Amino acid sequence: MAEQMMAADGRPLKASLNRALRRQKIRALALIAPLLLFILISFVMPIADMLFRSVENEIVENTLPRTVVALQDWDATSGEAPDEPVFNALYTDMALAVEYKSHTRLGSRLNYETTGISSLFRKSGRRISRFDTDAYTDAFAAADPAYADPVQWAAWMDDDALRAKLPLTTSAYDGWEKMIVEAEGDVPTEEQPWDFVYTALYNDGVNGAELPIAVDVSQIEPVSIRAQFSDVDDDWLDPDVWQTIKTYSPTYTNGYFLNSVDLMKGAEGIEQRPENERIYIVLFIRTMIMSLSIMGMCVLLGYPIAWLLANLKDRTANLLMILVLLPFWTSLLVRTSAWKVLLQQQGVINDTLVWIGIVADDNRLELINNQTGTIIAMTHILLPFMILPLYSVMKTIPPSYLRAAKSLGATDWTAFWRVYFPQSVPGIGAGCILVFILSIGYYITPELVGGTKGVFISNRIAYHISSSLNWGLAAALGTILLTIVMVLYWVYDKIVGIDNVKLGG
């Protein structure tokens, strides 16, 4: 048997080597830990949050938990609004939501799907405390004073056997007890339960439950909660409203993604949105076409400039490089505003064309508030991102290659196309990726110079984040945009090869 080799410290050589390698890996990990944490916090976590928000839909279930359960038995294709039990559940949920001030946020969420629901929830929230359900409270208190005693209520709700007999009352009381502590800062044993708890107690009694103290509920004048809600607004009897609530009651939804591609959930499944509401597919296509146009313009303009910079003497090239870098030293807003002035019909460019005689004074070019304005302004802004990678690659191409080709009989064009151009392709690839990815995410410049016809999908994302506050739809649009970029990146890698992309020599 071969003798085991030992290290100087007396340990087995293999174990000693593994220990040294492990130390090196830990040291390397410690060195990159700050960068890794930075990337996780500033890049990975926001993307993960965006992906989650694009399907997250907890607000309906959290705000209307009893209504969501009650709606499970409602037939959405019946063409009729739900029956009284669903409205009873809605009454309890709304009464609690008003105290938490969550009914307005829920209304805003559902308003993304059906216009008008937001005002419906706000109006109902203001009127919910004036429902005639105090008749139940008075009737139970008159039947036995124990029903008005908060301590007695607490004792009843501590009795598991009694809780099992009174499911509606237990649910309403538990919600009230939690709310009275969290939202009101009061003590449940010092406050008489609110009207919606007595309403639930009445409904349990009507359903045949044995009440804590016997009361003949048949002698109590019933109050139709359905009628109370319809008095607030007739839209509560609109089946479409309830269809929206039921459709978007699950915790997770694909509704945001459907909206992102101009689809929607209907009573019979997924269907297209009305023609006048289909905007996102057009915006996606426009964003791709305009981004590719900007990228192409940058290649056409940037390639000769980069070639000139790479082949001039260093002193002259450095002076010209300042002109390339000048946009980086100028505010994006200033550059965009300058183009807004230059491109107007009474702007410098049109004035010059009229003065030269190329354009008639009464037929000036429309260069702003359209796609043309966006392409011109963004080509100028993104041109350095094409020139710099091209320049860094062209600078490494030896001039002797062209001279050698010409000495062998090649023409200038043949020498360029067969010898020089293939070596500059890695720079073109890097510049194209930079310009394309940056352009599809731009929204300031298209917003200022693009008008209604020159905006990108990124402008709608910014609108939903900052104005409409429909973060779910914004997250879905962003996720689709991210997916498109990754697919294009994959296609580019398959066709050109990402290994051929170089940002420098």
Question: Which ranges of the chain have pLDDT less than 50?
Answer: 505
What are the percentages of helix, strand and coil residues in the chain, rounded to 5? 75, 0, 25
Count of CB atoms situated within 10 Å of the CB of 145: 11
Closest by alpha carbon to 471, among 45, 50, 111? Answer: 50
23-75, pLDDT tens digit by residue? 999 999 999 999 999 999 999 999 999 999 999 999 999 999 999 999 998 98
Question: Contact 206/215 with Cβ under 8 angstroms?
Answer: no
Look at residue 275 in the predicted model and tell me its pLDDT.
Answer: 86
Cα gap 164→173, rounded to integer Å: 13
Residue 319, token pair as written in the block: 């002076």
Look at residue 78 in the predicted model and tell me its pLDDT.
Answer: 84
Question: Contact 160/224 with Cβ under 8 angstroms?
Answer: no
Largest CA distance in the chain: 114
Look at residue 504 in the predicted model and tell me its pLDDT.
Answer: 52
259-281, pLDDT tens digit by residue? 999 998 877 788 888 888 889 99
Per-residue exposure over 123-143, b if at least 16 CB sit within 10 Å of its own CB, e if not: ebbeebeebebebbbebbeeb
Look at residue 75 in the predicted model and tell me its pLDDT.
Answer: 87
Tell me, yes or no, if the pTM score tops 0.85. Answer: no
CA separation, residue 474 to residues 181, 280, 434 (Å): 35, 11, 23
Closest by alpha carbon to 477, among 261, 184, 237? Answer: 261
Look at residue 503 in the predicted model and tell me its pLDDT.
Answer: 54
Cα gap 129→134, rounded to integer Å: 9
Which single residue is written with the structure tokens 């354009």? 359
The whole-chain average pLDDT of the chain stands at 90
